[in-house]
Structure 1
Amino acid sequence: MQTINDAIHWWARVMPDAVALDFGDDRVTYLEYRDWSERIAADLIKRGLQPGDRVGICAANSLEYCVLILGILRAGGIVLPMNMRYTPHELAEIAEDTGPRFIFADADRLAKIEGLSSASLEISHIGQLRHGQRPIIAHQPKPDDRVVIISTSGSTAKPKGVVFSHRSMTGYVATHAIEEQSLGRGSRVIIPAPLNTSAGFVQLTHYTILGCTLHFLSAFEPALFLKTLVEKKINGFGAVPVFFEAVSKLPEFENADLSSITMATCGGAPVTQALQDTWMKKGIVLRQIYGQTECGGNGTIMPEHLARVQPQKCGMGGLFNEIGIIDENGNRVPPGTVGQIILRGPGNMLEYWNNPEETAKVLKGEWLHTGDLGVLDEDGLLTFIDRMKDLIISGGLNISAAEVERAVLTFPGIEECMVIAAKDAKFGETPLAVVYTRQDIDVPALISHCNSRLADYKVPRYVALEHEPLPRTPTGKLSKPAMREKYRNAAEALPRVR
């Protein structure tokens, strides 16, 4: 069998006493991980869970969250990680689309999920199942069973649900295990991302399948992160460039012993040569990745020996992954020509949940059409150029410009809105709302309005008021290039509104 649960069962037999999950003050071994998850599965089945039912989780990273994920899969359910920073309005949209049978939440978010499912449960209930006899469960997961629906922001106003199976997730691991030979059984990996994101969920399944010890932090704080790297002798981790920059600017970074790190990957924005040089002084080569939720996370990783001198490039695919560049007609283009990036590999998503039209736009045969622009050089190395999709990546979190625009346009007096990325020293980029209005707008009231409809990281940090209609393309669509140029120095020219 080729399921995530089979992998955990294997490690529970081969190295039962090895630590699987480490949350600092609490940890579980692989044997405890398996048995606890099976008690959760039995409990869910007793409560009426049927194979294929969705189970939502809206909570901060925790030991209970990780084990609950495995328990849902063991029972045949589909995990629905829900962004803990979403508003009740955003969560309701996801629940309406996916119809979860149960939703678990931690104490801080229980109020958000009231009424979204026929059964709402506090995640602390999972702790009551930590000990006890290992149950006998008749249901056996199958490789092609759906296992997760990960919400992703893209070019549409509402998030789409990316679906993976046991086979696609284990295939993803098999592909990247070849590139990550320094990480495997017994390696110590730290995961700074929330479990509701692709980065968090995929890394959890990826590195537990490989038999690693996973370390988690409740939130990214540079000094604590660096301290954990040193004290836990972490072997590998991945993050966005602003994380690496924040850690390297700490005064204690220069003398920190990071010799245990054998692999560090970086995505979401290009690695500069200056940032690469800073970490190489510590003996660590930052390896640029390219990917998106739809391909499982990483579509390609730059080989270490090439990353030293070409840090901005993203690699050439992998043993089972292939990269192509096509023009607007779908034809392959020669090296050095910019076009749309397409990916083929076992880790690609199965579909967008309940959305065959959007699925058909991106999955064509075996190829995932990413909607991103890139170029391959003569050696087949990929350089990411820009996003065809209108996506803002702020501190590693994806923000759909269309979703923010939709919220802004519901505020009285605003006739047109375009949301673009403004440079930000802390997060890399952040939303800037350019609005057309023929009357005075109460900007603080607009921000308050957005706060009621959007997670805090999506709310614009800058608002630019235009008193003439916004520029449009010949086909009548709003045209953003002129506004991007006009407000390219927004951080210096405009006041922050939050």
Structure 2
Amino acid sequence: MMQNPQRAVSTAVPTEVSSGTAATALDALSPEEQLGASRRLHWMNMLSLHAHSRTDDVALTGAEGAVTWGQLDARVSAVAADLQERGVVPGDRVFILSLNSVSYATALLAINSVGGIAVPLNIRSVAAEIDYLVTDSGAKVGFADQMGAGILADAPEAAKIPLIGFGEQFEQIASSGKAHRFVDVAESDTALIVYTSGTTSAPKGVMLTHLNFAAQAINTNRLGPAGTEHEVAMIVVPLFHIAGLGFLYPAFFNGTKVVIAPPQALMKMEALADLIESERVTKLFLVPTLWQALCSLPGIRERSLPLDAISWGASPASRETLQLMADTFPDAVISAAFGQTEMAPTTCALTGEDSFRKMGSVGKPIGMVAARVIDAMGDDVAQGETGEIVYRGPGYMQGYWNKPEETVKSSAGGWFHSGDLVQVDDEGFHYVVDRAKDIIISGGENISSVEVEQAVAAHPKVADASVIGVPDAKWVETPLAIVAAADPADPPTLEEIQAFISDRIASFKKPTRLEIVEELPRNASGKLQKHLLRKEFAPEE
């Protein structure tokens, strides 16, 4: 098992503070210790510094209300003190199962403040998936909102873990006035374990350090207008997703006010537009489907929306969507971010006019990311030829939790092997031509086709199954199940398959389309030939 060594913990008596002051756990340290702690390059230290110099400026706002930097620092310390009272020590894992909220961000910071490792879990997961993730991570404590608590109630293993509920219980803890015992957290310590869809049924926990996120903050600032305290960033994408986390961390480094959009805002684009306008949001990341919906809102161009840096990623954007974004926000810098959780996450970017001139490209490697395109022997391919893109840099993960063999395999030759097959043109722009790891990207969510295949294949009416991604007008891509029936006279229906797998995988992973075939194409060794299925059922235009 890979985890952090225990860090130094102050034995000073915690100071009692009110929820509205800028007092911090640092105040219990000697002047020399305070100075040393202030050198740390992670978001807990950034919070402490902002709490001192910008005490009354708003740090976070959301459905629960707004908190200033001073209030947030005190509330984080109070929640951290509660975790320490529960026995959480450096290296312990603490999960969060919740929709986005100010409390969510507060809990993340509190976990890290005691040297713990936060484990954000996908709120759309079913109980069986949550059981696996909580058990695999070895979480000691958990946070959950009402929706998350409902899922946990049906997960027998996860339900055994002590739970802190967002809402009244969390508010009592956060406003208690307690301060935690200071823990010296190093930049090389693991901050989060983010689970990502893999090529097998078992998700892999990506261990990301504080240094990884510091690198992401620097890279993000290079994608558009320099980050400052005058910006207002809005987070819409889930905080259990690396895109949401990768947008939150830079805001703390820049001292940017963050608006955490309530989940219901995504159900009505007019509400999202209202929030952008009322909070004077300048910086926003959305997946292409949401940009399409927002920019198509009647009267959107007549609104006073101060966006000057808009970005997209997680799935491809069409020329029509990009043009709509440019026409709706003509004064904004438009950037596309491409990457992987293992790189924390951005590796390549496409900005400005290049978004149109190089349509279909994921851009060029950015900032502190080195990249190569290699063949099966590890040699660089010639320009225009297809190869796997590999990376290295300070954003690269610490490894896969509990999977040392996978960690070694992913970093063969000293480079992270992404599994993405790309081509590079004569100007250095990269184009993804295939995903070697069989990942379907639907509405910005990564779906392991193998995981869905195994769920579908368990149906008694299914003899053999494959799942591929096919184009979809709304989600860009959606899972198609291709099935050979156990009894050709009684093949399964899509509804039967969806009902059967409902308690095995999350609803967003379910196939939305079904094709029945006599048999699936396999080679002499029995390996499924998915390229033939894609050619027949998802031909390129």
Please state which band the TM-score falls in when normalised by the shorter chain. over 0.9
Number of the residue aligned with 1:335: 383
Aligned mates of 1:383, 1:77 — CA distance in 2: 38
Give, as a single letter, the amino acid of the residue that structure 1 aligns with 2:251: Y
Number of the residue aligned with 1:469: 519
> What SS does the corresponding residue of 1:138 show, helix, strand or coil?
coil
Instruction: Report if aligned partners of 1:341, 1:370 keep a CA contact under 8 Å in 2.
Output: yes
Are residues 1:188 and 2:232 paired? yes
Matches within 5 A, 1:237-252: 237-252=284-299
State the Cα RMSD in Å: 2.0
The two structures have a TM-score, normalised by structure 2, of 0.86
Number of the residue aligned with 2:281: 234
> What SS does the corresponding residue of 1:251 show, helix, strand or coil?
coil
**Structure 1 position 171, deviation (Å):** 2.1
Instruction: Report if aligned partners of 1:182, 1:262 keep a CA contact under 8 Å in 2.
Output: no
Deviations 1:242-270 (A, max 9, x none): 11112222222232333x22211221333
Aligned mates of 1:10, 1:180 — CA distance in 2: 25
Q: Select the residue among 165, 175, 178 that pairs with 1:122.
A: 165
Alpha carbons of 1:487 and 1:171: their partners in 2 closer, same or farther (altered >3 Å)?
same
Q: Select the residue among 244, 251, 258 that pairs with 1:200.
A: 244
Are residues 1:273 and 2:356 paired? no
> What SS does the corresponding residue of 2:431 show, helix, strand or coil?
strand
Deviations 1:378-424 (A, max 9, x none): 33222222211111111111111111111112211312110111222
Alpha carbons of 1:253 and 1:71: their partners in 2 closer, same or farther (altered >3 Å)?
same
Q: Which runs of 4+ in 1 moved over 4 A?
A: none
Aligned mates of 2:317, 2:227 — CA distance in 1: 22
Give, as a single letter, the amino acid of the residue that structure 2 aligns with 1:301: A
Alpha carbons of 1:271 and 1:429: their partners in 2 closer, same or farther (altered >3 Å)?
closer
Alpha carbons of 1:320 and 1:109: their partners in 2 closer, same or farther (altered >3 Å)?
closer
Paired positions, count: 488
Instruction: Report if aligned partners of 1:168, 1:346 keep a CA contact under 8 Å in 2.
Output: yes
Could you tell which deviates more after superposition, 23-32 or 87-96? Answer: 23-32
Are residues 1:64 and 2:64 paired? no
Number of the residue aligned with 1:361: 409
**Structure 1 position 177, deviation (Å):** 2.1
Q: Select the residue among 257, 268, 273 that pairs with 2:304.
A: 257
Instruction: Report if aligned partners of 1:279, 1:285 keep a CA contact under 8 Å in 2.
Output: no
**Structure 1 position 223, deviation (Å):** 2.4
Instruction: Report if aligned partners of 2:389, 2:422 keep a CA contact under 8 Å in 1.
Output: yes
Are residues 1:406 and 2:454 paired? yes
Are residues 1:457 and 2:496 paired? no
Aligned mates of 1:442, 1:415 — CA distance in 2: 10
**Structure 1 position 70, deviation (Å):** 0.3
Deviations 1:274-310 (A, max 9, x none): 3322222231343222111111121122233533533
> What SS does the corresponding residue of 1:299 show, helix, strand or coil?
strand
**Structure 1 position 429, deviation (Å):** 1.1
Number of the residue aligned with 1:388: 436
Number of the residue aligned with 2:535: 485
Q: Select the residue among 88, 99, 110 that pairs with 1:49.
A: 88
Instruction: Report if aligned partners of 1:81, 1:150 keep a CA contact under 8 Å in 2.
Output: yes
Aligned mates of 1:36, 1:191 — CA distance in 2: 21
Aligned mates of 2:414, 2:377 — CA distance in 1: 17
Alpha carbons of 1:423 and 1:315: their partners in 2 closer, same or farther (altered >3 Å)?
closer
Could you tell which deviates more after superposition, 374-383 or 142-151? Answer: 374-383
Alpha carbons of 1:362 and 1:128: their partners in 2 closer, same or farther (altered >3 Å)?
same
Deviations 1:441-467 (A, max 9, x none): 44333211111111110111112222x
Matches within 5 A, 1:73-472: 73-114=112-153, 115-116=157-158, 117-124=160-167, 125-219=169-263, 220-221=266-267, 222-258=269-305, 260-281=306-327, 282-283=329-330, 284-364=332-412, 366-439=414-487, 440-443=490-493, 444-466=495-517, 468-472=518-522
Aligned mates of 1:307, 1:426 — CA distance in 2: 21
Aligned mates of 1:484, 1:86 — CA distance in 2: 27
Gaps in structure 1 of 5+ consecutive residues: 490-498
Could you tell which deviates more after superposition, 46-55 or 165-174? Answer: 165-174
**Structure 1 position 232, deviation (Å):** 2.2
Aligned mates of 2:53, 2:425 — CA distance in 1: 44
Instruction: Report if aligned partners of 1:270, 1:288 keep a CA contact under 8 Å in 2.
Output: no
Give, as a single letter, the amino acid of the residue that structure 2 aligns with 1:277: Q
> What SS does the corresponding residue of 2:357 show, helix, strand or coil?
coil
Aligned mates of 2:61, 2:322 — CA distance in 1: 29
Aligned mates of 2:235, 2:291 — CA distance in 1: 14
> What SS does the corresponding residue of 2:365 show, helix, strand or coil?
coil
**Structure 1 position 311, deviation (Å):** 4.2
Instruction: Report if aligned partners of 2:333, 2:351 keep a CA contact under 8 Å in 1.
Output: no
**Structure 1 position 134, deviation (Å):** 4.9
Aligned mates of 2:315, 2:286 — CA distance in 1: 10
Aligned mates of 2:176, 2:197 — CA distance in 1: 41
Deviations 1:36-92 (A, max 9, x none): 111111110011111111101111111111101100000111001111111110011
Alpha carbons of 1:442 and 1:270: their partners in 2 closer, same or farther (altered >3 Å)?
closer
Aligned mates of 2:149, 2:318 — CA distance in 1: 42
**Structure 1 position 366, deviation (Å):** 4.4
The two structures have a TM-score, normalised by structure 1, of 0.93
Alpha carbons of 1:365 and 1:67: their partners in 2 closer, same or farther (altered >3 Å)?
farther
Gaps in structure 2 of 5+ consecutive residues: 1-39
Alpha carbons of 1:25 and 1:311: their partners in 2 closer, same or farther (altered >3 Å)?
farther
Instruction: Report if aligned partners of 1:271, 1:288 keep a CA contact under 8 Å in 2.
Output: no
Alpha carbons of 1:476 and 1:266: their partners in 2 closer, same or farther (altered >3 Å)?
same
Instruction: Report if aligned partners of 1:395, 1:427 keep a CA contact under 8 Å in 2.
Output: yes
Instruction: Report if aligned partners of 1:316, 1:323 keep a CA contact under 8 Å in 2.
Output: no
Instruction: Report if aligned partners of 1:285, 1:308 keep a CA contact under 8 Å in 2.
Output: no
**Structure 1 position 7, deviation (Å):** 1.3
Aligned mates of 1:53, 1:25 — CA distance in 2: 28
**Structure 1 position 25, deviation (Å):** 5.3
> What SS does the corresponding residue of 1:169 show, helix, strand or coil?
helix
Alpha carbons of 1:475 and 1:206: their partners in 2 closer, same or farther (altered >3 Å)?
farther
Instruction: Report if aligned partners of 2:141, 2:161 keep a CA contact under 8 Å in 1.
Output: yes
